[in-house]
Amino acid sequence: MAFYTDQQIQMLADALKGSDRAQENLQRQGKPELILLLDALKYDDDGAMETLHENGHDDLGLFITAVTGDPFAVQALFDGKQAKLAMAAHAVLGDERSLEWLKKNGHKAYLHLVDAVNAVLNEEE
């Protein structure tokens, strides 16, 4: 996985909540994989998932799979040493301890990501 700054994770959360400016900033910073994550989650774009996989961003694909209900994908994120993404995914699935861990460790951008993903998933219901 590429390294993502807290600012980039915050921009992803903002883009998921509908900010065109955040999406443009992610593009400008050369993070099209985060736009693909947005497309896969928000628009249920299977092509985006395939492109993530083809371009070596399996961790982002696992995140999407995890937040849409696969607890084994959460474990795969942990196994791949993606603790913050795994904890965020687990928090989306309703795990209070993961949410508390993100809060306790000051991962505000990931907390915003949890909120944004929950908002997107709740839109679909």
Query: DSSP readout, 49-95?
Result: HHHHHHTT-HHHHHHHHHHTT-HHHHHHHHHTT-HHHHHHHHHHTT-
Using 50, 70 and 90 to split pLDDT, how confident is the model at 13? very high
- Whether residue 2 is predicted with pLDDT greater than 80 in this model: the reply is no
Using 50, 70 and 90 to split pLDDT, how confident is the model at 109? very high
The alpha carbons of the chain give a radius of gyration, in whole angstroms, of: 13
In a domain, 66, yes or no: yes
Q: Model pTM?
A: 0.91
In a domain, 77, yes or no: yes
Residues in CB range of 123: below 8 A, 6 or more apart: none
Residue 22 is predicted with a pLDDT of: 95
In a domain, 53, yes or no: yes
In a domain, 1, yes or no: no
Using 50, 70 and 90 to split pLDDT, how confident is the model at 124? low
Residue 125 is predicted with a pLDDT of: 57
Which structural domain, as residue segments, surrounds residue 75? 6-124
**Percent above pLDDT 70 for the chain:** 97
Q: How far apart are CA 85 and CA 66, in angstroms?
A: 10
In a domain, 95, yes or no: yes
Using 50, 70 and 90 to split pLDDT, how confident is the model at 46? confident
Q: Give residue for tokens 């070596």.
A: 56
Q: CB-hemisphere CA count at 13 Å for 108?
A: 2
In a domain, 42, yes or no: yes
- Whether residue 59 is predicted with pLDDT greater than 60 in this model: the reply is yes
Q: How many folded domains does the chain comprise?
A: 1
In a domain, 44, yes or no: yes
Q: How far apart are CA 37 and CA 45, in angstroms?
A: 9
